[in-house]
Amino acid sequence: MIQALSCGGVVIHRDKILLLYKNQCGKYIGWVLPKGTLEPGESHKQTAWREVREEAGVNARIVKYIGKTRYSFKGASDVVDKTVHWYLMRAMSFHCQPQAEEYFADAGFYKRHEAIHLLKFSDERQILSRALAVYDSLREARSGGR
């Protein structure tokens, strides 16, 4: 079994969530959150920020660490056990540009119920729900509980 580590972001702007649509060589992959592999010398935060920037063209800032997910899949020669560390992030605008080199065909910001419905993978739906709970509690704390 191969161990792999990635980091990603649940990116929010004006209460909408960034999603990417992946379509690899004509094969439907689905709507996903931006994430990717650590490069040598990077921290988890740096990787999450870089991957959001590269995969979606989004300028965002990290707000808070929200947890990790784990899943396994069959790789070319072995089973890959992947851990993904997730960060709640706030975008500066709705501008996004999907990275074609990574087979992203579309990117956009979606309302909460749309994002939950569109996300292909259950672990990403779960981390989105957790991120939204953190986002809501931080917003409530800023507004003084009003």
Does residue 125 belong to any structural domain of this protein?
Answer: yes
The answer to whether 69 touches 97, Cβ cutoff 8 Å, is no
Please tell me whether the overall predicted TM-score, pTM, comes out greater than 0.85 for this model.
yes
pLDDT of residue 66: 97
How far is the C-alpha of 13 from the C-alpha of 140, rounded, in Å?
Answer: 16
Does residue 116 belong to any structural domain of this protein?
Answer: yes
pLDDT of residue 61: 97
**In this structure, what CATH number is given to the domain that contains residue 123?**
3.90.79.10
Q: Domain span at residue 136?
A: 2-140
**Residues 6 or more apart whose Cβ sits within 8 Å of residue 11:** 17, 18, 33, 34, 52, 56, 58, 60, 89, 90, 91
Does residue 107 belong to any structural domain of this protein?
Answer: yes
Total count of domains within the chain: 1
pLDDT of residue 17: 98
Does residue 101 belong to any structural domain of this protein?
Answer: yes
Does residue 146 belong to any structural domain of this protein?
Answer: no
pLDDT of residue 74: 85
Backbone angles phi, psi at 138, to 5 degrees: -70, -40
**Full pLDDT tens readout for the chain, 146 residues:** 889 899 999 999 999 999 999 987 777 789 999 999 999 999 999 999 999 999 999 999 999 999 999 998 887 888 889 999 999 999 999 999 999 998 899 999 999 999 999 999 999 999 999 999 999 999 988 887 55
How far is the C-alpha of 131 from the C-alpha of 29, rounded, in Å?
Answer: 23
